[in-house]
Structure 1
Amino acid sequence: MSNMFKIFDVSGSALSAQSVRLNTIASNMANAQVASTTPEQAYRSKQPVFQTVMDQFGGSASTSPVRVAGIVESAAEPKARYEPHHPLANEDGYVFMPNVNLVDEMANMISASRSYENNVEVMNTTKQLLLRTLQMGQS
C-alpha cells in the first residue's frame, strides 16, 4: 500500500518538473523576437535539466521522484541580422536575435504538455484504485 502512495510523490514531482519546463518554454517563446545591440545582450534559449532523486533505502529509478537540477542556457550564438534602420542596430547595421528556434520550442511544448497530462492521469488512476480498495475494505 505504501508503494501506491509513493506514486503520488513520483507523479507530483514530475508535474512540478514539467511545469518548470513549460514555463521555460514560454519564456523562450516570449523572447524569440527580442532584438539586441550586441551578441552578449541577446536572449539565449534556456532548458531545464531533470534529475532523479534516488531513495536512500534502495529505491529504483522507476519509483524515484524527479527534480529540476537547474536551468542551462544554450551556448549557440545569437543570429546577426542586417537591419540598418532598426533602432537597436549597431554601428555596422546589425541587430542580434535570440538563438530560439520556435519550431523546436513548439515541439518541446507539446511533449511537456503530454507528459504533464500523463502524470495527472496517473495520479487520478491511483486515486481511483485507492478509493476502490477502501470501498472493498468497508464491505
Structure 2
Amino acid sequence: MDIERALRISAAGMAAQSTRLRVVAENLANRDSTGESPGADPYRRRTVTFASHLDRATGAQAVSVSRIGQAQGEFPRRFDPSHPAADAQGYVKTPNVDSLIEVMDMREAQRSYSANLSVLETTRGMLTRTIEALR
C-alpha cells in the first residue's frame, strides 16, 4: 500500500505542475497580445493556485490545482500612436506578463515535476526489484 501511495502522490504532483507549465507557456505566448480596439484590455496573466486534498483511495494528502485565475492590477502602457488599439492619447495597453517572472515560475515547476518523476521512477524500480526477488 505504501508503494501505491507514493506513486499516487507523485502522479498528483506531476499533474499539478504540468498544468502550471501549460499556464506559463500560455502566458509567455500571449505576452505581446494587445486589445483589438482602442482602449480594449489586452491579455491578462493567468495564475495557478494549488490545494492539498485527501486522496480517499490511499488516505494520503495530495496536491491538485484548485483554481486557474487571472492576475489583477493595472496594465502597462506603451506609446504607439500608429497601433490599432491605441487610445486617443496614443497609448496602447500591454499585457501584465513579466517574462522574468514566467521563466522563474517555469523553472520552479520544472524542478518540482522532475522531483516527482524521480520519486515515481525510484518507487517503480523498488517494485520491480521486489517482484524479481519473489520469483
- Asked if these proteins are the same fold (TM beyond 0.5), I'd say yes
What RMSD over aligned residues (CA atoms) do the two structures have, in Å? 1.8
Go from structure 1 to structure 2 and tell me whether the alpha carbon gap of 1:57 and 1:8 turns closer, same or farther (over 3 Å shift): closer
Per-residue CA shift, 1:23-47, capped at 9, x if unaligned?
Answer: 00001101111122325x2211111
Per-residue CA shift, 1:82-137, capped at 9, x if unaligned?
Answer: 11122221222111000111001001101111111111111000000111112222
Go from structure 1 to structure 2 and tell me whether the alpha carbon gap of 1:45 and 1:119 turns closer, same or farther (over 3 Å shift): same
The residue type paired with residue 113 of structure 2 is Y
Q: 1:131 aligns with which of 121, 128, 131?
A: 128
Q: Distance in 2 between matches of 1:13 and 1:57?
A: 13
Is 2:5–2:58's contact at 8 Å kept on the other side of the alignment?
Answer: no
Q: Distance in 1 between matches of 2:58 and 2:118?
A: 27
Is 2:49–2:67's contact at 8 Å kept on the other side of the alignment?
Answer: yes
Shift of 1:58: 9.6
Kindly report which structure 2 residues correspond to 1:52-71, keeping only aligned pairs within 5 A, or say none.
Answer: 52-55=52-55, 59=59, 63-71=60-68
Task: Give % identity.
Answer: 32
Is 2:39–2:85's contact at 8 Å kept on the other side of the alignment?
Answer: no
Unaligned runs of 5+ in 2: none
Secondary structure of 1:21's match?
helix
Q: Distance in 2 between matches of 1:115 and 1:67?
A: 13
Residue 19 of structure 1 corresponds to which residue in structure 2? 18
Q: Distance in 2 between matches of 1:104 and 1:6?
A: 33
Q: Distance in 2 between matches of 1:104 and 1:34?
A: 17
Give TM-score, length-normalised by structure 2.
Answer: 0.90
The residue type paired with residue 100 of structure 1 is V
Give TM-score, length-normalised by structure 1.
Answer: 0.88
Q: How many residues align?
A: 133
